[in-house]
Structure 1
């Protein structure tokens, strides 16, 4: 039997007397419960080291405190309880606690026309902070969508008009001939370019929020854009998607403004910063627009 106590190197004094703003672990694998789903996640857990004389923190205590996230659905209250446990286990060492949870929220999405449906993954980061008794939660959500360039659409229409003039100049117009021409590659000589785009949303939640409004925010964003990327589709759905793109022509500036107005109305959101990225099919670079908003205090 070993009668010697195990050494605690972290409890040894630090001669430099230098506090640290953040000490902890990143990329901790754990399952979490979110909107009724058990999801695979990665967590970043940390605290400040305010006692400059201390050598280090007790990282195993942070790790063990995360176990409650496997049993209870993620909510602001649960996140605060975990952060309070971080600080309780580091009394005298730390005043501030931090927790980031990275996962993919899975939402089942119906097709536009047919009865098909499928799953879509939305990358999500939930960040909670407890600093000097001030608690707040932030959300980061990536929402993919399709964007069709208005300039490209106008140029394509002009080419189609010119082709119509060339093909029917000085000819009597017959309804059947025009209809056939419109359905042929001879008539529709150009198409506008579209690209898969991404809306990167960074939102600050009100202190009184009881739930994490992830699905609500995603739905608001997709509704405002009108061209959410699809999952399972039939030809009728693909045609409806083409129609939606044609009726929602967007520069990146248009998308950013639509999202700004929609997110201002989202319940529980007191501030946000958003970035839209259109991965250009015409250029080798991206088109980007950013916008932010913060509610004015009464």
Structure 2
């Protein structure tokens, strides 16, 4: 217990005895304020429910962007937990409701992703997100992005190395039903066809200057000339390029199929960037670039039929970007379409 405060004697009164301070008046609470005081064991205030919006209206999406999480996936045949970022939202269909409970979305997403990143799991998650806001929301949206490690073999040397692929998956539940999506980004080398043609023209010109335009030339002389530095008078320019491939999946899809998307895309392009590279691999890469010159239009047209033929794909959207080495700007192309399952059958 605290002792009462002691008041010192007035100045000049050394013989005076200290006296206790008078008690403070008891605090009073107005009746209006007393109505707002929360009992010690009562619920915490919830202004999202207890207050009305200043301006009423429906909102398409309300939620969070960039939520940090971990997702259970399979990497090189083994289970793994990988860092992931989530965008989580529900529609706010009740115009009289001020807001949503974001913690409900957050906690449900954390649990779902740790259990395994699969279409069925995300489908259940968006259903639970709507149920957690019954009477307020009719739609829910979840998008997950992460980096998927994939061990890729070298071109010819028998080595291998890890590649990191940005991938995404999503689930949306609306009045129209459930929509599932999967996305990958692949890197590749694109050699400019125009530059390749001009380089061949320069080499042809150098050959005619060296050997003339008439008469016969021995194979040995040609080989010796080709081995000299500068004989190949022009080299085509190429650049690292990016392809973003997004597909809409059947509702019954067992997986998001990232590995299949990566393999189909890289096979169609023919010049995927490499991890482990020895001289023999680099030589093969040079051959592949010479065999696959492509404009951004060519790349988009190659990817579309490769992707649409994959299992569970209902539609696709593809965008490519060539990070030009000749220009200070990029060359881009995009295409979208539907999978014609009847024609395929």
TM over 0.5: yes
**Segments of 4+ in structure 1 off by > 4 A?**
none
Answer 1 or 2: higher relative contact order, Cα 8 Å, separation at least 6. Answer: 1
Report the Cα offset of residue 177 of structure 1.
2.8
Could you tell me which residue of structure 2 aligns to residue 88 of structure 1?
131
Alpha-carbon distance between aligned partners in 1 of 2:48 and 2:229, rounded to the nearest angstrom:
73
Aligned residues: 298
Q: Which has the larger radius of gyration?
A: 2
Alpha-carbon distance between aligned partners in 1 of 2:113 and 2:90, rounded to the nearest angstrom:
21
What is the DSSP-based 3-state SS (H/G/I as helix, E as strand, rest coil) of the residue aligned with 1:221? helix
Could you tell me which residue of structure 2 aligns to residue 24 of structure 1?
63
Aligned residue runs from structure 1 range 54-203, under 5 A: 54-132=97-175, 134-169=177-212, 173-203=217-247
Alpha-carbon distance between aligned partners in 2 of 1:88 and 1:295, rounded to the nearest angstrom:
32
**Which segment drifts farther, 11-20 or 100-109?**
11-20
TM-score, normalised via structure 1 length: 0.94
**Which segment drifts farther, 182-191 or 38-47?**
182-191
Matched, 1:6 2:44: yes
Aligned residue runs from structure 1 range 259-274, under 5 A: 259-274=303-318
Whether the 8 Å contact between 2:183 and 2:258 is mirrored in structure 1 is no
Report the Cα offset of residue 240 of structure 1.
0.5
Alpha-carbon distance between aligned partners in 2 of 1:73 and 1:227, rounded to the nearest angstrom:
32
Report the Cα offset of residue 172 of structure 1.
6.2
Alpha-carbon distance between aligned partners in 1 of 2:329 and 2:221, rounded to the nearest angstrom:
42
Go from structure 1 to structure 2 and tell me whether the alpha carbon gap of 1:289 and 1:5 turns closer, same or farther (over 3 Å shift): closer
Whether the 8 Å contact between 1:12 and 1:54 is mirrored in structure 2 is no
Report the Cα offset of residue 279 of structure 1.
1.2
Whether the 8 Å contact between 1:97 and 1:131 is mirrored in structure 2 is yes
For residues 50-84 of structure 1, give each alpha carbon's deviation from its aligned partner in whole angstroms, at most 9, with x where no partner exists. Answer: 11111111111111101223432211110011112
Could you tell me which residue of structure 1 aligns to residue 14 of structure 2?
none
What is the DSSP-based 3-state SS (H/G/I as helix, E as strand, rest coil) of the residue aligned with 2:95? coil
Alpha-carbon distance between aligned partners in 1 of 2:80 and 2:289, rounded to the nearest angstrom:
32
Whether the 8 Å contact between 1:13 and 1:53 is mirrored in structure 2 is no
TM-score, normalised via structure 2 length: 0.82
Matched, 1:284 2:328: yes
